[in-house]
Amino acid sequence: METASAGSTTGSIRLVVKRKRRQAPLAPRSEPPIRPGLLSPMRSVPAAIGRPPYAETGDPGPSSSSNVRTPDEVERMRRAGSAAAEILLEVGSHVVPGITTDRLDEVVHQATIDRGGYPSPLNYRGYPKSVCTSVNEVICHGIPDSRPLADGDIVNVDVTIFLDGVHGDTSISLAVGEVSDADRRLIAETRVAMDEGIAAAGPGQPVHAIGRAIERHARRHGLGVVREFIGHGIGTEFHSGLQIPHYHDGRATTVLVPGMTFTIEPMLTLGDPACGMWDDDWTAVTLDGRRTAQFEHTLLVTDDGIELLTVTAEGTVPADVFAVKSSTSST
């Protein structure tokens, strides 16, 4: 804070001037705004493939599983997580200008079946597709449809597979063709925010440490943190009882212990993180129309740290393969 004289004739009067913190120029609204396209019929899954309880009814019922996985469940989750990473790599290579998100859904659906799995989103609470594709100002749960991706779009592709009785859940945000510097920064810093949240997790740590680390990074880079959608426990259930806020919530006092499995999946925005919902009751969008990005891993708490479950058997991380660099990005 600095002081300045108010004038030569009133030397005893002092005007206190607050020095304002510099802020990055606000990114423009995403134009044209995303509008729903046409939906293709729900895709079928071969009868021989194992499926979650909600596959027929759409109702997952109340969560009843433990937050801590058995050793056998952990081994199965490693396989499911690896399969999810492989599928994400496969569909990511198809993300180019002109492809429809419905075609991306077809790729994910077939890649999941090819691995002997069931696409977890399909008919979960009535969701009509096998993957979520969230474009530009769509925060999450975008439903694949007939709209072609355009050069300069950004898209989050969220893949989950049900394999051998457990789920593996992961997502990345990708640039479609050439994107703006603001979009590159958004994608790059959202990835770093997820990594910061992962680094804050571990045995003995409270859940709120994860959100604190994510929110700190987002604020440092002038990005908003969506609060309405959070990470979750995962295992034999797609979404189990453990909740992982991506902002600092001192009430999230659950202490992480070995054997817990959950997702960290922050959604950051170039503007105000307030969101609204389309009439389909799935598609969440920023109210100010500014763009948003998301990254997600499924994680296991071990005796001495955190294991990423959604990497390939060779250790490949899809977010590394499709990494978007920003001149101002953290390393």
Amino acid at 149: L
Q: Which domain holds residue 244?
A: 63-321
Residue 17 is assigned to a structural domain of this protein = no
Residue 24 is assigned to a structural domain of this protein = no
Q: How far, in Å, CA of 313 to CA of 149, rounded?
A: 31
pLDDT 10s digits, 233-268: 999 999 999 999 999 999 999 999 999 999 999 999
Residue 192 is assigned to a structural domain of this protein = yes
CB contact at 8 A, 137 and 289:
yes
Q: What is the CATH number of the domain that holds 184?
A: 3.90.230.10
Q: How many domains does the chain have?
A: 1
Residue 119 is assigned to a structural domain of this protein = yes
Q: How far, in Å, CA of 146 to CA of 138, rounded?
A: 16
pLDDT 10s digits, 107-139: 999 999 999 999 999 999 999 999 999 999 999
| pTM for the full predicted model | 0.91
Amino acid at 293: A
Residue 135 is assigned to a structural domain of this protein = yes
Query: Over 50: is that where the pLDDT of 18 sits?
Result: no
Residue 52 is assigned to a structural domain of this protein = no
Residue 193 is assigned to a structural domain of this protein = yes
Q: How confident is the model at residue 7 (pLDDT cuts 50, 70, 90)?
A: very low
Q: How confident is the model at residue 331 (pLDDT cuts 50, 70, 90)?
A: very low
Q: How far, in Å, CA of 272 to CA of 91, rounded?
A: 30
Residue 37 is assigned to a structural domain of this protein = no
pLDDT at 24: 57
**In the block, which residue shows the tokens 């060779």?**
314
